[in-house]
Amino acid sequence: MKNDSEDRTLPPEDTKKSILELLLGGAKTSGEIANKLRIQKSAVRIHLNSLQARKMVKSYFKIAHLGRPKRMYELTESGRELFPRRYDLFLSLIIKKIEETEGREQLKKIIKSVTDDMAADIKKRIENNNASNNFEKSLKMLNSISNEMGFVSSVRKEGKDTFSLVSRNCVLHKVALSDQDAICHGFHDRIIQKTLDGKANVDVELRECIALGDNHSRHIITNKR
């Protein structure tokens, strides 16, 4: 006769998904997870170790009044990002409301101001990594930060002073579909330009765009020196 912990087995990826869904409700011990999923605690620990290695889950010890401290597991921000979040819908409503109440020109000014602030933060990170005096290194770090933002981007050298920055995901896709000028140019083009501004005489041109139906967005970036 099987005990409760052996009643059910799930494919590895299904088990990981179930663990993440449980942790979405709050931190839990491996024993609590095992009981909920009715699988062996040793199997749960293997999955938790894998999820920690992928930075989707983190752990810490919780001191109890009686007995030994308990190791608790909870989702990281990366783990939470696996679950649907309607940022694009929320942002599109905000943009629509700003345009209705403040006008088109004010909307463009706000987007440019936010973009410039983001570019300034990226420039500081580049400077802190001693890459600000090297255009190619600066661009590679910009690409790395672009990936952190979710653009799934890559940079490639096209010529002596020319590079391409290809983004395979648009984090503002829904908004860009309804306002390509404000997002693709006012935000995406501008954040590249402003981040590299001052390091060289830079020309940024959007050649392909997801919002226009292309499979990816491709910026051609030229250092005019």
Q: Could you tell me which residues come within 8 angstroms of residue 129 by beta carbon, excluding any fewer than 6 positions away?
A: 141
Q: What is the pLDDT of residue 24?
A: 87
- Residue 141 pLDDT > 70: yes
Confidence of residue 11 (pLDDT cuts 50, 70, 90): low
- Region 52-60: mean pLDDT is 94
Tens-place pLDDT, residues 151-166: 999 999 998 889 999 9
Distance CA 149, CA 170 (A): 10
Q: What is the pLDDT of residue 199?
A: 59
Whole-prediction pTM value?
A: 0.65
- Residue 201 pLDDT > 50: yes
Cα→Cα distances 53→47, 75, 82, 84, Å: 10, 13, 16, 22
Q: What is the pLDDT of residue 155?
A: 95
- Residue 179 pLDDT > 90: no
Domain annotation for the chain: domains and CATH numbers: 4-80 (1.10.10.10), 87-223 (3.30.1380.20)
Q: What is the pLDDT of residue 5?
A: 38
- Residue 86 pLDDT > 80: no
- Region 101-117: mean pLDDT is 94
- Region 109-132: mean pLDDT is 91
